[in-house]
Structure 1
Amino acid sequence: MVHLILYSKPGCHLCAGLVEKLNQIQDLLFELEIRDITTQDRWLNAYQYEVPVLKQMINGQEMPIPRPSPRLSVSQLATHLQKHLIATPA
């Protein structure tokens, strides 16, 4: 299963919109881990002006996924993810 990490922060409407759309994707199996950047200084320093940041965890390494436009529909977001996700062995 694909493991996605979303770096987010409270009150971020772009983050909330992305989470809502990710939760509606039905034709792509993934586990979503949401990390609140305000809970760790290193995350806050790295992403405070960049959220939402979406990454894929592969063999213990975080691989960035290009930022999807907030205007994408749920199906367009699914296509975006399918295009950028790296296949991992089962």
Structure 2
Amino acid sequence: MTAVTTAQKAALLNILRIKIDKIGKGELRYIDRREENARAYAEALADANIITDNEREELYDKAKAAAEAAVRAHQGTGEPLQAVQTSFD
């Protein structure tokens, strides 16, 4: 692992949480791009040894779940989501 403090790691994960939260906001056509961006950020954190491979996989799953929920919401109402629940606990 790269030498990062707990606070630094928390800040980096918070950025990722925000990216995942924004997956469902906006237009339907951008959901896949937002998911890809969140997954790429998680990959970069793993490449820098800030998070483990298992953490990366969990974050991939959260991004995928957020994207799937966003698509379902768009298909059901035609409106973007207001928020997607994510937790890094």
Fold similarity call, TM over 0.5:
no
TM-score by length of 2: 0.34
Higher helix share: 2
Structure (1 or 2) with the larger CA radius of gyration = 2
TM-score by length of 1: 0.34
Higher strand share: 1
